[in-house]
Amino acid sequence: MEAQTRTLIERDRNHVWHHLSQHSVLKNQDPLVMVKGEGSRVWDAKGNSYLDASSGGVWCVNVGYGRTEIADAVRDQIAKLNFFASTAGTEPAAEFSEKLLEKMPGLSRVYYASSGSEANEKAFKIVRQISQQKYGGKKHKILYRERDYHGSTIGALSATGQEERRQHYGPFASGFVEFPHCCEYRSQFGDVADYGVLAAKELEKVILREGPDTVGAVIFEPITAGGGVITPPEGYWPAVMEICKKYNVLVHIDEVVCGMGRTGEWFGYQHYGIKPDIVTLAKGVASSYAAISCLVTTEAIFEEFLSDGPDREMYFRDVSTYAGCTAGPAAALANLEILERENLVENCAVMGDYLLEKFHGLAEKHAIIGDVRGKGLLLGLELVSDRELKTPVAEAVTVKIAGACMQKD
């Protein structure tokens, strides 16, 4: 191995703290250090090439690597104006807001931040402030679904239905309440014909238990991503929307993973006729060529913070320093142009159907595949050691499979 490569690997081993990683294993093996990306492939420091089927490892490089037009757009913008606090506007932020909202009928305002977790925190603050201003602080609870993930901050983890991610980090923020998942493969009711409606009614049970006058909002992933690539069953979303309307509960859709074409529609919620009050975006907004996230709302939500009276506290009293960086919306604009010009959203739907068919073919050959799920190019295989009992495989098995995939050309 070249001395320069060895030096890079040792610098990483000795100084970098990787995410979601047990570093004790790096005593006996080299860390994986990526150095180049082009199209849908990446290269590590040792020259190994990989097909990046996870879009940057966490579903975010939607248009692929090496897009020089995005890099050029960022360079040109930050040379002109790199930053100004979001108490004022900037040219790329205004332009991207308009173009983004063209893809999101029914929504009208974009609030910028720098990560998905942060965008969700902003949404929670909006719900809490509306509760204080309109309901005397009572309608403050935020419901979240088992198996959904909404971010890594304490507030976002308070609304995350994955116990392994939450372990060690409590106590969590009060007023966040879980309701059951909608994974039909793991049905809570056995083999039933109307699973989607029954799963939605579980949400209603929680609203009634907590008291509808205390519940301000419910947050969902349109398709649960890291919690198992769970597509909502038939009848689920119409029932959910009816329930939320009945009890005056705001609908917050977390599109951090699903958004910007990954599911074969511009946004995951658009598969299901959902009319959200709040949508949060990150990851694919700029395909991770720059850090940017967006909180998008209806005009009705925006107007909750307007006042001509003497109460100066009515406005949304929030700030995000790096929301003022112009690199984010500049990259997002160039990213959006690529998605449109190359028809990548439509292609995602076509290739997703092809891949889904191939996955079903694999399931016919391999008993370890218990279920195949997903939309577009957000697809997953549930692995089991016993198909009849649906017993999950041991974690060591999935690690071995992932390792074998990494060894393929």
Residue 317 has pLDDT above 80, yes or no: yes
Q: In what order do the strands lie in the sheet with 278-281?
A: 109-113, 293-297, 278-281, 250-254, 215-220, 141-145, 176-179
pLDDT of residue 221: 98
CA distance 226 to 246: 30
CA distance 19 to 105: 36
Are residues 114 and 275 in contact, defined by beta-carbon separation less than 8 angstroms?
no
Higher pLDDT, 202 or 405: 202
Q: In what order do the strands lie in the sheet with 369-375?
A: 369-375, 378-386, 391-392
Nearest in space to 263 (alpha carbons), one of 274, 247, 249: 274
The position carrying tokens 């190994």 is: 48
pLDDT digits (tens, 9 = 90+) for 176-232: 999 999 999 999 999 999 999 999 999 999 999 999 999 999 999 999 999 999 999
CA distance 120 to 111: 11
The DSSP bridge partners found for residue 295 are 111, 280
Residue 68 has pLDDT above 70, yes or no: yes
Residue 89 CB neighbour total at 10 angstroms: 11
pLDDT of residue 11: 96
Q: Which residues contact 112 (CB under 8 A, 6 or more apart)?
A: 86, 93, 292, 293, 294, 295, 320, 323, 324, 328, 329
Q: What percent of the chain shows pLDDT beyond 90?
A: 95
pLDDT digits (tens, 9 = 90+) for 227-251: 999 999 999 999 999 999 999 999 9
Q: What is the mean pLDDT of the chain?
A: 96
Buried/exposed code over 264-276 (b: 16+ C-beta within 10 A; e: otherwise): bbbbbbbbbebeb
CA distance 162 to 158: 10
Angle CA(252)–CA(256)–CA(261) in degrees, nearest 5? 110
Kind of pairing between the strands at 293-297 and 369-375: unpaired
Q: At what angle do helices 327-341 and 91-101 cross, to 10 degrees?
A: 40
Residue 407 has pLDDT above 90, yes or no: no
pLDDT of residue 409: 65
Q: Which two tokens stand for residue 174?
A: 């009060």
pLDDT of residue 309: 76
Q: What is the DSSP string of 349-386?
A: HHHHHHHHHHHHHHHHH-TTEEEEEEETTEEEEEEEEE
pLDDT of residue 69: 98
Residue 403 has pLDDT above 90, yes or no: no
